[in-house]
Amino acid sequence: MSKFNIEKYWQSEIDSHLLSAQKTRDIMLDNFSKALDLCANAIKSGNKIMFFGNGGSAADAQHLATELTVRFIENRQPIAAIALTTDTSTLTAAGNDFGFEHIFSRQIEAIGKAGDIAIAISTSGKSPNIIKALEMARDKDIITIGMSGRDGGEMHPLCDNMMIIPSDITSRIQEMHILLGHMLCGGLEQKLNLS
């Protein structure tokens, strides 16, 4: 077993992150711009943004919804957003009564309305509960945005716009997701010009 080299590990991880950021920068502008416009137009029309994902992506969903409802950089009016990952009673009841694959779709069925935004966050794009939620959103004429990695998995045909991180490494995909999520929050603050 080789000895752990902290300096080599440090440099390798930072280099990998920077490479993912560079690749994302080189290909993502149009998709990010479309996502920002879709979200801004929905909020201007009195709609809301719903974020959802599993595991680390669930944490990102909660994080980003909070940045919008409270504040990101500017002190301004709140932006209507919710994470579908935080209500333990709803999650456990839906999982128990209908199955884990319905924990997000049931909430979208209950509170989603036409013109809302559903932002699905999944590094693989293959989670059944993410796919079911996007299908429900489509049925309700909700605008769908996917944040994924690798090849986008099964989300691609269910999303009006996809931001697929050009990486196969889960941690790098997650890092770029939170970067794009922060940029979305900052962009909305500027585009909506809320005081």
Give residue-wise pLDDT tens across range 172-195.
Answer: 999 999 999 999 999 999 999 876
**d(C-alpha 144, C-alpha 102), whole Å:** 17
* Amino acid at residue number 11: Q
The number of domains in the chain is 1
Structural domain including 122 reads 10-192
| Termini Cα distance of the chain | 59
Residue 76 CB-density burial (10 A; 0-12 exposed, 13-18 middle, 19+ buried): middle
Asked if 169 and 17 touch (Cβ cutoff 8 Å), the reply is no
Residue 58 and residue 29: Cα distance in Å, rounded? 24
Taking the whole predicted model, whether its pTM rises above 0.85 is answered as: yes
- Does a structural domain hold residue 1? no
Collapsed DSSP state (helix, strand, coil) of residue 149 = strand
Q: Is residue 3 part of a domain?
A: no
Tell me, yes or no, whether 5 lies in a domain. Answer: no
Is residue 77, in this structure, part of any structural domain at all?
Answer: yes
Please check whether residue 2 lies inside any domain of the structure. no
CATH value at residue 166: 3.40.50.10490
What lies within 8 Å, CB to CB, of 71 at 6+ separation is none
Q: How much of the chain, in percent, has pLDDT values that exceed 70?
A: 99
Q: What is the pLDDT of residues 62-75, one digit of tens each?
A: 999 999 999 999 89
